[in-house]
Amino acid sequence: MPEISSERQMQDKETIVHMKAACALAARVLENAGKLVKDGDIINIDVTVYLNGFHGDTSKTFFCGEVDEAAKRLVKVTEECMLRGISACKHGVSFKKIGRRISEHAERHGFGVVEQFVGHGVGRVFHSQPIIYHQRNNMPGQMVEGQTFTIEPILTMGGSSIECDMWEDGWTAVTTDGSLAAQFEHTILITRTGAEILTKC
């Protein structure tokens, strides 16, 4: 888990403009980044932009050429899990509802949710509170209007095998059992009635 600042990321009308600009740029970079690697691979590209004092953070898993049906299903369900987690969000809702929604959908399709990576608060500080768990959990806390954070589940084809190993670069992670994994991430803004996705093109 990255070092997490205790500072909560609360945005007002002025800072939301900057936050949206940073996130929009991150989304544009990501849309053009998935044009690498070899036929049959899937690859996750995570883009973070720092613009005018604010971070935008997003990721997406891409198909590289012809990908088999199992990999396509993993990628589709992973994106659905992220969107289900986002749909649970609004002012006053418990953070643990995100993990429950993601876990239920992943398990229904036979996939495991990697527990060692989390979503996080983001804004002027890159990694801050709240920490967003993508699996079932009993962590306290409720969402507050104006908060900005990421939801970024990683699913594996290994089902109950959800362990990952880190490479020496300190950033690249691979599943311990060698099974495929996929990830999607958006930065969101909590509103009174829901969540606005800030990293959407």
For residue 112, give Cα distances in angstroms to 136, 180, 194.
12, 11, 27
- Does residue 37 lie within any of the structural domains? no
Q: What is the CA radius of gyration of the chain?
A: 16
- pLDDT score of 166: 84
Query: Using CA atoms, how far apart are residues 27 and 5, in angstroms rounded to an integer?
Result: 24
Tell me the longest C-alpha to C-alpha distance in the chain: 46
Pairing state between β 128-132 and 5-8: parallel
3-state secondary structure of 105: helix
3-state secondary structure of 78: helix
- Does residue 178 lie within any of the structural domains? yes
Q: What is the mean pLDDT of each run of 10 residues along the chain (201 residues)?
A: 78 89 80 66 89 94 92 98 98 98 96 94 94 96 97 87 78 83 97 97 85
- pLDDT score of 125: 93
- pLDDT score of 78: 98
**Mean pLDDT, the chain, integer:** 90
Pairing state between β 195-197 and 186-190: antiparallel
- Does residue 145 lie within any of the structural domains? yes
Domain count, the chain: 1
- pLDDT score of 28: 74
- Does residue 82 lie within any of the structural domains? yes
Look up the CATH number of the domain holding residue 170. 3.90.230.10
- pLDDT score of 193: 96
- Does residue 36 lie within any of the structural domains? no
For residue 102, give Cα distances in angstroms to 13, 24, 80, 151, 190.
30, 25, 8, 10, 18
- Does residue 70 lie within any of the structural domains? yes
For residue 90, the enclosing domain spans 5-31+42-197
Q: For 2-56, give the secondary structure using H, E and C.
A: CCCEEEECECCHHHHHHHHHHHHHHHHHHHHHCCCCCCCCEEEEEEEEEECCEEE
- pLDDT score of 41: 85
- pLDDT score of 187: 98
